[in-house]
Structures are given as structure tokens and as C-alpha cells.
């Protein structure tokens, strides 16, 4: 669903859009929260499709005993400094002290298959009826409440629905600000650039938008006269939403000087949605926008769907057969499927390296912005194309000030359905608890763990820094 920004403002304010039902306009503005002291912590969630094959996360320098434990899915840890990384991960060799290869977290609570939709960010099964199956705010929105910013949470996506070549503009996303409320996201780098940095790069249009907001606010305010009950509450919520957006606009304007300092340079290939841009060019542009948005203080939480089964990978130089992510997932349909899986991840790791390097170059306090950043590279559906969702290998990069104590290690947790196993819900509860939300348990419970009467509540306490 492609939406013009001005129409987005108008239609949402009048209650006619289906993506975010009134009064849930909060996902386009800063959210009420209990702010943390000191510099904000930033989170970058990078969602990938097609699963992460566990064997591709094995370390080539494992001892025979360690390899046996890995293959038999037994819990153990090793120091990454003493080991070689898989070839696709070697681009991050210089950042091992910040890296975690995390094995053993299951995603059965959100389900496998081709897509998890909103499920992998909310730790519940979403299915194709995305809107009605959204149970609560996804983890990225919950974290954004702990570290308020003008935009709150920002979502970007290179997901491509079946039957389309690509998407551009502002489209429906997968994150969610609340139950039954779907987020918007930026589907191409230029749209993200133009919308996030509009106050600097297109002040005239920003001024026009402000005038539109003022007009809509006054119109809705005038409609309150003589209304009672449900209709009055509805219009009152719209007035409050519009006022909050106006306040966000003022906050963004106050950041114009720092926005100019970090404003990325966009390649002209991305104009008009970038129909001729290669996938590596799109990746690079989105990465630059993410860094600039974080450095400028416009947002502290970004969710980035770096690909899905429909994302066109024919422009990757390694893709000599011009195959698709979907075909690669089925493996047997093409030769060299495993090699292409590694090639795709290699390109993803180049973007993570750029994120780390650029954020390390931006001073903050006595260190850098990266010191206060966590990057989570995760599969959408688990350990393969059609799951299994009993494990979901992740690569996590954490800065020096992280409250999650896992850096520099390869960690394999107890396997699904066994004592001590940890689910996606436990992992997200850990993030929330570590950064100020004392919630007892976030996300759904795992059926297998319930049936076996195994404890699965709460955070992974040993991951939280003392």
C-alpha cells in the first residue's frame, strides 16, 4: 500500500486509513516514556529472510569436542578471540570484542514457514492476517518508549510482496505500536532520506506540512463543539494526535543544526524510488540513512528488513544464475544454494561493519555513539527456509556501555524443549529488563516448554550486566 505523506497526514487525522486506527497516531511521533539517564541507548534490528542455517554459524576452528557439542546442540560457550570466524563473517574480524554469535534461542512462539510477519518482533504468531493477529506492541516500539526521540521508532524495509518488482514510498510495515495496529515504513532509501531529514533538505515543503497540520488541528478542534460520548472521544483523540505531531515537528526543527552535520549524501540512482539501483546500492544508502538518523537524535530504535523472499538479488555479483532468495531456500532447486546463502550474508555483514565503523567515528561523552548501540541481526523465521523454528542463530554487536553482558563470545544455549532453554520471548524480556522495563515476561509462552512443564518465564538473567 503506497501512501503519499501529505495524504497520510490527512487520512490518518480523519480516521480513514486502515493501517493505524485512531487514536494510535503515536507511532509517527515521540511516545510517552520514563527516560533513561545519560546518553540514549540505540537499537538496530536487522531482519533477514530464509532462516539462518545452524551449520553456517559453526566456527571453523572448533575443537573436535566443541564441534560435537555444536552438532548435537549441547550448551557451551567459547571466546571468539581464540577462534576463526566463518568466511561470511570475516568482514567483522576486527570487531570480535563486540560480537556475539548466539545459538539456541527458539522462535517457535512466532513460528517458521516463509514469513513471520509481525511475529518475530512481537514473539507471537501473526500469520497472514497481520492486522488482526497483532497482539501487542512489538519489541522495537517497547524499547523506543525507554529512549524517547522525535520519531520514536523508525522502520525501513526492502521486503517485496509477491507479484511486485519492488516497493517505494511510505508503505505498510511489520512492526506494531500496539495491538491490532500496524506500522508504516520507508520502502526505499530516498523516501527515508526525504522524510526523516525534510526540515533541512526541503524546508518549504516542511513548512507546508506544518500549515496543513495547523489547519487540520483547528478543523478537528472546532468539530468538538456539540459532540458527546464516543464521537467526542474520537475527535478529541484526533486533536491530541495532531497536536503531538506538531510538537514533534518543533523538536525536529530544534535538531536542524545537528541534522545538517550528519546529513548523508544520496546517490542520484535512488531518485524516484531507485528503479535502477542495485541491491548493494540500496543497502549502502539505507545504512547511511540509519547512521544519520541515529546520530542526529531523530530516533534511537530502527528496524530494518534487509530482505525477504521477494527481494531481488539478481544484482549481487555472486548471483551468476540470477536465482531468487526463494529458490535458494529450497536448496535442491539450484546448484550452489549454500554458497549463495553465504554471499547474501556477506553483503549483510558489510552493512553491519559500516554501521559499527561509522557509529564509532561519532563522539559521544567520553566515547562514541557505538558504545551506546546494540545491533541484532536475526532471521525472520528460524534456522531454515521452512523453519525449523526451534533455533534461530543471531549475530549481535554490542558497544562498551551495553547492559547485556554477552560480547566477545560464541554462546549456545540449551536446545528447545530441554531444561534451561530460552525462547525469543525470554530474549526480548532480557532486553527490556536490562534497559529499564521490569516486565515479568514479554511475549507468548512456548507450547512444548509448557507441555514438558519446563520453566520459561522471565529474562536470561546471566545476560544482564550487574
Query: Mean pLDDT of all residues in the chain?
Result: 85
pLDDT of residue 24: 29
**Residue 393 pLDDT greater than 70, yes or no:** yes
Beta bridge partners of 373: 42
What lies within 8 Å, CB to CB, of 205 at 6+ separation is 198
- Taking CA 140 as the corner, what is the angle to CA 455 and CA 261, rounded to the nearest 5 degrees? 145
Which among 42, 43, 92 has a CA at the least distance from the CA of 351?
A: 92
pLDDT at residue 400 tops 60? yes
Averaged pLDDT for residues 21-35: 37
Each residue's pLDDT tens digit, 309-339: 999 999 999 999 899 998 898 876 677 888 9
pLDDT tens for each residue of 175-206: 999 998 888 899 999 999 998 998 888 765 55
Task: Report the pLDDT averaged over residues 128-137.
Answer: 83
CA distance 236 to 245: 14
- Distance CA(434)–CA(147), nearest Å, equals 13
pLDDT cut 70: percent of the chain above it: 80
In this prediction the pTM is 0.87
Taking alpha carbons only, the member of 448, 386, 327, 406 closest to residue 96 is 406
Euclidean distance between CA atoms 38 and 34, whole angstroms: 13
Q: How far apart are CA 453 and CA 208, in angstroms?
A: 59
Q: Based on the number of CB atoms within 10 Å of its own CB, is 419 exposed (0-12), middle (13-18) or buried (19 or more)? A: exposed
End-to-end CA distance of the chain: 46
Any idea of the CA torsion for 328, 329, 334, 338, to the nearest 10 degrees?
A: 70
Q: What is the pLDDT of residues 223-232, one digit of tens each?
A: 556 655 655 5
- CA atoms in the 13 A half-sphere facing the CB of 65: 3
Residue 238, C-beta contacts closer than 8 angstroms, at least 6 positions apart: 13, 14, 15, 22, 23, 25, 220
Q: How many alpha carbons lie under 13 Å from residue 372 in its C-beta half-sphere? A: 22
DSSP H/E element including 48: strand 42-48
Question: pLDDT category, 23, cuts 50, 70, 90?
Answer: very low
Q: Which of 168-182, 352-366, 370-384 has the lowest mean pLDDT?
A: 168-182
Q: Which value, to the nearest 10 degrees, does the dihedral of the CA atoms of residues 258, 261, 266, 267 take?
A: 180
Per-residue pLDDT band for 248 (boundaries 50, 70, 90) equals low
Q: What's the pLDDT at 247?
A: 62
Amino acid at each position: 500500500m503506497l501512501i503519499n505523506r501529505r495524504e497520510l497526514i490527512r487520512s490518518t487525522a480523519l480516521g480513514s486509513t486502515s493501517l493505524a486506527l485512531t487514536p494510535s497516531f503515536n507511532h509517527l511521533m515521540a511516545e510517552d516514556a520514563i527516560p533513561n539517564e545519560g546518553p540514549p541507548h540505540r537499537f538496530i534490528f536487522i531482519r533477514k529472510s530464509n532462516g539462518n542455517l545452524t551449520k553456517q554459524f559453526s566456527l571453523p576452528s572448533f575443537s573436535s569436542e566443541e564441534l560435537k557439542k555444536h552438532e548435537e546442540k549441547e550448551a557451551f560457550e567459547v571466546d571468539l578471540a581464540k577462534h576463526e570466524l566463518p568466511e561470511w563473517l570475516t568482514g567483522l574480524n576486527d570487531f570480535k570484542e563486540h560480537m556475539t554469535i548466539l545459538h539456541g534461542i527458539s522462535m517457535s512462539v512466532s513460528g517458521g514457514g516463509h514469513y513471520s510477519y509481525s511475529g518475530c518482533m512481537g514473539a507471537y504468531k501473526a500469520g497472514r492476517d497481520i492486522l488482526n493477529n497483532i497482539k501487542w506492541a512489538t519489541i522495537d516500539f517497547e524499547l523506543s518508549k525507554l529512549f524517547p526521540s522525535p520519531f520514536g521508532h523508525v522502520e525501513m524495509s526492502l521486503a517485496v510482496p509477491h507479484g511486485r518488482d519492488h516497493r517505494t514510498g511510505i508503505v505498510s510495515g511489520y512492526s506494531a505500536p500496539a495491538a491490532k495496529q500496524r506500522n508504516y515504513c520507508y520502502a526505499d532509501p530516498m523516501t527515508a532520506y526525504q522524510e526523516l531529514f525534510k526540515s533541512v533538505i526541503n524546508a518549504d515543503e516542511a513548512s507546508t506540512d506544518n500549515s496543513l497540520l495547523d489547519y487540520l488541528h483547528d478543523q478537528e478542534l472546532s468539530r468538538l463543539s456539540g459532540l458527546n460520548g464516543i464521537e467526542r472521544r474520537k475527535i478529541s483523540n484526533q486533536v491530541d494526535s495532531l497536536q503531538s505531531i506538531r510538537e514533534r515537528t518543533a523538536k525536529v526543527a530544534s535538531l536542524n543544526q545537528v541534522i545538517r552535520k550528519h546529513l548523508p549524501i544520496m546517490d542520484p540512482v535512488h531518485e524516484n524510488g531507485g528503479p535502477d539501483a542495485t541491491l548493494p546500492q540500496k543497502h549502502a544508502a539505507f545504512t547511511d540513512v540509519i547512521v544519520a538518523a541515529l546520530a542526529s537524535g531523530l530516533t534511537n530504535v530502527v528496524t530494518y528488513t534487509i530482505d525477504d523472499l521477494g527481494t531481488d538479488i539478481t544484482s549481487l555479483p555472486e548471483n551468476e544464475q540470477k536465482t531468487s532468495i526463494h529458490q535458494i531456500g529450497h536448496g535442491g532447486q539450484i546448484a550452489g544454494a549454500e554458497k549463495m546463502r553465504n554471499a547474501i550474508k556477506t553483503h549483510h555483514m558489510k552493512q553491519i561493519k559500516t554501521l559499527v565503523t561509522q557509529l564509532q567515528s561519532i563522539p559521544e561523552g567520553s566515547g562514541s555513539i557505538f558504545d551506546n548501540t546494540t545491533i541484532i541481526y536475526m532471521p525472520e523465521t528460524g534456522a531454515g527456509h521452512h523453519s525449523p523454528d526451534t533455533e534461530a542463530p543471531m549475530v549481535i554487536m554490542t558497544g562498551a556501555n551495553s547492559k547485556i553482558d554477552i560480547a566477545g563470545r560464541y554462546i549456545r544455549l540449551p536446545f528447545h524443549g530441554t531444561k534451561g532453554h530460552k525462547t525469543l520471548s525470554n530474549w526480548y524480556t532480557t532486553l527490556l529488563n536490562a534497559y529499564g522495563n521490569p516486565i515479568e515476561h514479554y511475549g507468548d509462552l512456548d507450547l512444548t516448554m509448557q507441555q514438558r512443564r519446563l520453566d520459561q518465564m522471565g529474562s536470561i538473567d546471566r545476560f544482564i550486566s550487574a
